[in-house]
Structure 1
Amino acid sequence: MIVRDVDNIIGTEREVHSEGWVSRRLLLKSDRMGFSFHETIIPAGAELHMWYKNHLEAVYCVAGNGSIEDLATGEVHEIHDGVIYALDQHDRHILRGGTEDMRLICAFNPPVTGRETHDADGAYELVEDD
């Protein structure tokens, strides 16, 4: 059984800061669950161009607000507490913070190792783990 408290992740190597977001990696590939699980904070007003071409991601908003724009269709979907979106087609998108910081719960498949950073496309590279 794995039990982790996000408060114990803050300030450790499992808390990853990047321009426009903070990700707290609760479960990683090394936990052998078949997915990784993160709490991500998107600040109000942020604009992130992303494309997870190597991963599928599901994201559930538990606080705050913002929007996601599907770059293939131009559709914009509002995000707020209780909304989930799934990037099931490796969708290119723009994630925008709204008037409040968004707190998002995210699952990635394949799982991330914790060492990934966004590349020029806004994607995580596939990292071969030990």
Structure 2
Amino acid sequence: MIVRTLAECEQTERCVKAETGTWESTRMLLKDDNMGFSFHITTIYANTETHIHYQNHLESVYCMSGDGEIEDLADGKIYPIKPGTLYILDKHDNHLLRGGSEDMKLACVFNPPLSGKEVHDADGVYAVDTE
């Protein structure tokens, strides 16, 4: 059994902050936990924009608090995000994630799981951990 608290994880290297200053992600469950997925609590800061294009991962995201929006770059559609919203990047969707008037707190699940150090490259991609 694995038991961790968010507060404990936030005080370790599991808390990764974007160099762009637009988000931080506390990776509570990672590849080396051998569960087949990873689980993160991510904060998207208010009034920011992040380009994301997970070409190597699928992700489900549930908004717990705050507000923002996601723009699908394939068709230009914009979807509001608020508490209770779930969005699923099931087609490696190229998108912009925008923080609204207050920070968004999101629960995120990745498949394949992240190893923990990933940050978006210039194209918004996380590399695959091949180890």
Taking structure 1 as the reference length, the TM-score comes to: 0.97
Equivalent pairs counted in the alignment come to 129
- Runs of 4+ displaced beyond 4 Å: none
Distance (whole Å) between structure 1 residues aligned to residue 125 and residue 98 of structure 2: 16
- State how 1:54-93 maps to structure 2 within 5 Å: 54-93=56-95
Aligned residue for 2:10, secondary structure, equals coil
Paired residue type of 1:17: K
Partner residue, 2:2? 2
Distance (whole Å) between structure 2 residues aligned to residue 75 and residue 11 of structure 1: 37
Q: CA deviation at 1:111?
A: 0.2
Q: CA deviation at 1:38?
A: 0.1
Which of residues 108, 111, 122 in structure 1 aligns to 2:113? Answer: 111
Superposition RMSD in Å = 0.7
Distance (whole Å) between structure 2 residues aligned to residue 119 and residue 127 of structure 1: 14
The more displaced of 114-123 and 42-51 is 114-123
Distance (whole Å) between structure 2 residues aligned to residue 117 and residue 46 of structure 1: 16
Identity, in percent, stands at 55
Q: CA deviation at 1:10?
A: 1.3
Distance (whole Å) between structure 1 residues aligned to residue 82 and residue 89 of structure 2: 17
Distance (whole Å) between structure 1 residues aligned to residue 17 and residue 130 of structure 2: 22
Taking structure 2 as the reference length, the TM-score comes to: 0.96
Matching of residue 14 in structure 1 with residue 14 in structure 2 = yes
Paired residue type of 1:10: E
Distance (whole Å) between structure 2 residues aligned to residue 101 and residue 117 of structure 1: 19
